[in-house]
């Protein structure tokens, strides 16, 4: 589109001085000839968007007779100057978008295809030939065709092209969209440090949701979910920094629990998902994303490399095939545990992670050049990854998360069941 276009000054229909359509513009040019005043319209003004709802009327889109205008100008109702034009005629020489087209009533869709095909509009008793220069764009979710309405066949026949969109096919493209659309202000960027793994995890959650058996695939998972998740994630870290009076902070893996409202509010669950509950489904999606991304950064905790685990102790079945995570798992299996609380200061957070033997050494082995904040993010990421691969157990606390060995929690649950059984008998 040209940056500026000439418009007859005062025209309602953005009339071209060389091809006027409205009664006003024709008369104005007829009277003033080459002296007709012209204004310049920027391309940013040449875009109109309307959300189709059942209450949208022909008057809104096409126009109607304005009795107040007729009275003020002392005109008869058979004079076309009494017409108050709607959004479509006022979008002459522009782009006009109607969102959720199936929600538009059938009689209004008929009025639309008459404009598309014949180039004329009918308002009350007026039949006006207006060869409008408009690029129409319609949007619709195919699921809506049967849920709330339909696009009538004559109108669909006059739509020149139908473009079927799709979700981003890879993490890289999805990240570009999220970063472009997320509303993150400069002050937040200064306070909160975000690494690439954080962004990958955000997008991976959406990819997992689109494949989940608990999520309604017909409704889909829009890109808006990742945008909202990213904004909430930044807000969670910023809130912690403000609470602890810290000038800067960085994203933690535990901050991802702050994006659960973004997930539960954006996905529609099938019956099985409703039975599980939105909160549990959201936790599962985060866990699956961590599990998927974990093997992109660290060796997969394969079963063949796991230690032979015995309650209270561990022994390697084959020392040569010992897991790289042995020292970490040994420490937890010795009865130790670690709490990662949501609002602890960065120094307390680091101290908690450094208390796990072998954790920092493992991260430095694979990523020796990582900076301090990214290193601690990776250290926590290892704990989450080991929990997803069932080498550790992870428990949701009221104000954070707790990691401990897997089998002690299993035996504890069994002991509780045994006690309940004894009480019943």
**98 occurs within a structural domain:** yes
**423 occurs within a structural domain:** no
Same-domain status, 103 and 219: no
Q: How far apart are CA 330 and CA 315, in angstroms?
A: 9
Domain end call among 165, 180, 198: 165
Same-domain status, 261 and 358: no
Q: Look up the domain containing 40 and give its range.
A: 1-45
**274 occurs within a structural domain:** yes
**132 occurs within a structural domain:** yes
Q: How far apart are CA 62 and CA 88, in angstroms?
A: 6
Same-domain status, 355 and 371: yes
Same-domain status, 66 and 25: no
**Exposed/middle/buried for residue 213 (C-beta within 10 Å: 0-12, 13-18, 19+):** exposed
The total domain count for the chain is 4
Q: Which residues contact 288 (CB under 8 A, 6 or more apart)?
A: 208, 212, 388
Same-domain status, 86 and 148: yes
Give the containing element (helix H, strand E) for 224.
helix 223-243
Residue 310's pLDDT is: 42
Residue 409's pLDDT is: 58
Residue 322's pLDDT is: 58
**104 occurs within a structural domain:** yes
Task: Give me 167's structure tokens.
Answer: 């979700």
Q: Which residues contact 401 (CB under 8 A, 6 or more apart)?
A: 254, 257, 339, 340, 394, 395
Round the CA-based radius of gyration of the chain to a whole number and report it.
31
| Cβ atoms of residues 243 and 219 within 8 Å | no
Task: Give me 189's structure tokens.
Answer: 């960027």
CATH code (residue 80) = 3.40.50.300
Same-domain status, 186 and 279: yes
**378 occurs within a structural domain:** yes
Q: What is the DSSP string of 339-371?
A: EEETT--HHHHHHHHHTSTTHHHHHHHH-TT--
**268 occurs within a structural domain:** yes
pLDDT tens-digit profile, the chain (425 residues):
899 999 999 999 999 999 999 889 999 999 999 999 999 999 999 999 999 888 898 889 988 888 888 888 888 877 778 888 899 999 999 999 999 888 888 888 888 887 887 777 777 777 777 888 999 999 987 664 444 568 888 888 888 888 888 888 999 999 999 999 999 999 999 999 999 999 999 999 999 999 999 998 887 888 899 999 999 999 999 999 999 999 999 999 999 999 999 999 888 899 898 999 999 999 999 999 999 999 999 998 865 344 444 444 444 444 444 588 999 999 999 999 999 999 999 999 999 999 999 999 999 999 998 888 899 999 999 999 999 999 999 998 888 899 998 876 555 544 443 444 454 54
The angle that helices 171-181 and 196-211 make with each other, rounded to 10 degrees, is 110
Same-domain status, 119 and 200: no
Residue 67's pLDDT is: 85
Same-domain status, 286 and 373: no
Alpha carbon distances (Å) from 175 to 179, 226, 233, 312, 419: 6, 9, 15, 44, 50
Same-domain status, 159 and 214: no
pTM for this entry: 0.77
Cα dihedral: 99, 103, 108, 113 (round 10): 60
Same-domain status, 252 and 311: no
DSSP annotation of 22 reads S
**How many other CB atoms sit within 10 Å of the CB of residue 82?**
22
**408 occurs within a structural domain:** yes
Residue 408's pLDDT is: 64
Residue 160's pLDDT is: 84
Instruction: Identify which of 250, 248, 252, 236 has the alpha carbon closest to the alpha carbon of residue 190.
Output: 248
Q: Which residues contact 412 (CB under 8 A, 6 or more apart)?
A: none
């Amino acid at each position: 589109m040209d940056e500026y276009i000439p418009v007859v000054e005062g025209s309602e229909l953005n009339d071209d001085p060389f091809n006027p359509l409205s009664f006003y513009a024709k008369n104005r040019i007829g009277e003033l000839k080459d002296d007709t005043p012209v204004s310049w319209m920027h391309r940013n003004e040449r875009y109109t968007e309307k959300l189709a709802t059942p209450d949208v009327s022909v008057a809104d889109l096409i126009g109607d007779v304005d009795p107040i205008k007729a009275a003020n100008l002392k005109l008869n109702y058979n004079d076309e100057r009494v017409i108050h034009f709607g959004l479509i005629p006022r979008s002459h020489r522009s782009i006009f978008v109607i969102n959720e087209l199936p929600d538009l009533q059938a009689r209004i869709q008929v009025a639309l295809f008459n404009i598309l095909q014949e180039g004329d509009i009918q308002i009350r008793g007026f039949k006006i030939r207006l060869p409008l220069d408009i690029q129409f764009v319609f949007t619709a979710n195919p699921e809506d065709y049967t849920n709330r309405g339909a696009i009538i066949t004559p109108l669909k026949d006059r739509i020149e092209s139908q473009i079927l969109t799709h979700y981003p096919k890879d993490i890289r493209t999805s990240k570009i969209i999220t970063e472009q659309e997320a509303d993150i202000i400069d002050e937040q960027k200064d306070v909160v440090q975000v690494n690439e793994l954080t962004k990958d995890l955000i997008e991976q959650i959406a990819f997992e949701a689109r494949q989940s058996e608990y999520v309604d695939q017909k409704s889909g998972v829009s890109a808006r979910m990742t945008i909202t998740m990213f904004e909430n994630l930044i807000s969670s870290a910023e809130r912690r920094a403000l609470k602890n009076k810290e000038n800067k902070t960085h994203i933690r893996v535990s901050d991802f629990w702050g994006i659960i409202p973004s997930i539960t509010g954006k996905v529609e669950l099938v019956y099985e998902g409703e039975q599980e509950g939105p909160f549990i489904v959201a936790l599962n999606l985060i866990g699956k994303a961590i599990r998927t991304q974990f093997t992109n950064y660290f060796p997969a905790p394969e079963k063949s490399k796991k230690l032979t685990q015995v309650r209270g102790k561990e022994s390697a079945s084959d020392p040569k095939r010992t897991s790289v995570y042995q020292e970490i798992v040994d420490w937890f299996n010795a009865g130790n545990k670690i709490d990662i609380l949501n609002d602890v200061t960065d120094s307390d957070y680091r101290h908690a992670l450094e208390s796990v033997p072998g954790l920092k050494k493992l991260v430095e082995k694979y990523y020796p050049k990582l900076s301090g904040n990214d290193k601690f993010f990776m250290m926590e990421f290892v704990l989450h990854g080991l929990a997803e691969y069932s080498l550790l157990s992870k428990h949701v606390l009221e104000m954070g998360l707790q990691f401990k060995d897997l089998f002690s929690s299993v035996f504890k649950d069994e002991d509780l069941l045994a006690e309940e059984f004894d009480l019943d008998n």
